[in-house]
Structure 1
Amino acid sequence: MRAARRCGVCGADGAAKYRCPRCAAAYCSVPCCKAHRERCAPQREPPAEERAAQRGLSADSAWSVADILTEEDEQDRVPLQKLRLLGESEELRGLLLNPHLRQLLLTIDQAEDKSSLMKKYMQEPLFVEFADCCLRIVEPPEKENVIPEL
């Protein structure tokens, strides 16, 4: 579990669960987000070549997980190699052919409150199947200690 930070808007200690995607400032609620958004000045973005060099990537690479995670979030990081496995999975590709699943994912992507929508969608069997498939790919279950039959 990650340690909560102080809200950069209202100052509530240990309440900031969210970060501004433009400047990475911590905030705790929708009202604080709105207040921050009115005065947000994004941090200077280093050139793509500089960011890529810092991460050991080529300049034409797309964003990496390092672009959105802070040091505090490192425990939640999924290595890029494992994320690439998602794109190689035939099972996952088969699931993504379902237009209903694609619509659910699009709705989540466009939602303001992604967390509550995710909780709602975790009641949908198709979405649970998708989430389980993704987890099996990036975190394969460990093999149990099984005694072979003689």
Structure 2
Amino acid sequence: MSCKVCNGKKTLYKCPTCLIPYCSLDCWKTHKRVKCKPVVHKNKFDEENVKKENGYQYLTDSTVPMEKLKLLGNSEGLSEVLKNPHVRNMILAIDRSENPAKAMEDAMLEPIFVEFADECLKIVQPPNEP
């Protein structure tokens, strides 16, 4: 995605007010001078429709397509790993954590959790895909 201010470089940032992508501090300052306007949802129903259409409210370069995520439910290998209550408890702990990144980092030290992560990655990003 290119910068919406200078139409140049790849964007690294988004304005917290209006979500326009920009590439640098100079572009942000230029953008702020033209008085950006906050993104306003027409109503809650419209926001829910956005979520229903693609399953996500916000998409990033690393967002896994919903179709691939749905494949996780059909994986025999993943089902086998999830039979282990220790793995399920680790997943719940990560989900409930105030610092999920740290909780995930800690979980990745456990071989059984690494096995779980590997099974997920085999499905959402097979080795022959970039």
TM-score, length of structure 1 as denominator length: 0.54
Q: Does 1:105 align with 2:114?
A: no
**Inter-partner Cα distance in structure 2 for 1:55 and 1:108:** 24
Q: For CA contacts below 8 A with separation 6 or more, give which structure has more relative contact order.
A: 2
Does 2:1 correspond to 1:3?
A: no
Partner of 1:83: 69
| Matched ranges for 1:30-69 at <5 A | 46-47=44-45, 50-51=46-47, 53-54=49-50, 57=53, 64=55, 66-67=56-57, 69=58
Q: How does 1:68-147 map to 2 (within 5 A)?
A: 69-70=58-59, 74-142=60-128
**CA deviation vs aligned residue, 1:118-142 (integer Å, no higher than 9, x gap):** 1111110000000011001001111
- Aligned pair in 2 of structure 1 residues 100, 56: CA closer, same or farther (>3 Å)? closer
Distance in 2 separating the partners of 1:116 and 1:140: 26
Where does the alignment leave 5 or more consecutive residues of structure 2 unmatched? Answer: 1-10, 18-39
Give the count of matched residue pairs. 96
- TM-aligned CA distance change 1:6 to 1:116, over 3 Å: farther
List per-residue Cα deviations over 1:43-92 (Å, max 9, x = no partner). 76521xx34654674xxxxx82x22x35xxx2011111100100111111
C-alpha deviation, 1:5, in angstroms: 6.0
Residue type of the partner of 2:82? L
Partner Cα distance (1:55, 1:112) in 2: 24
Question: TM-score of the superposition, structure 2-length normalised?
Answer: 0.61
Cα distance in 2 for partners of 1:52, 1:126 equals 37
Unaligned 5+ runs, structure 1 = 9-42, 58-62, 144-150
In structure 2, the CA distance between the partners of 1:53 and 1:113, relative to structure 1 (3 Å rule), is: closer
Q: Between the two proteins, what is the percent identity of the paired residues?
A: 36
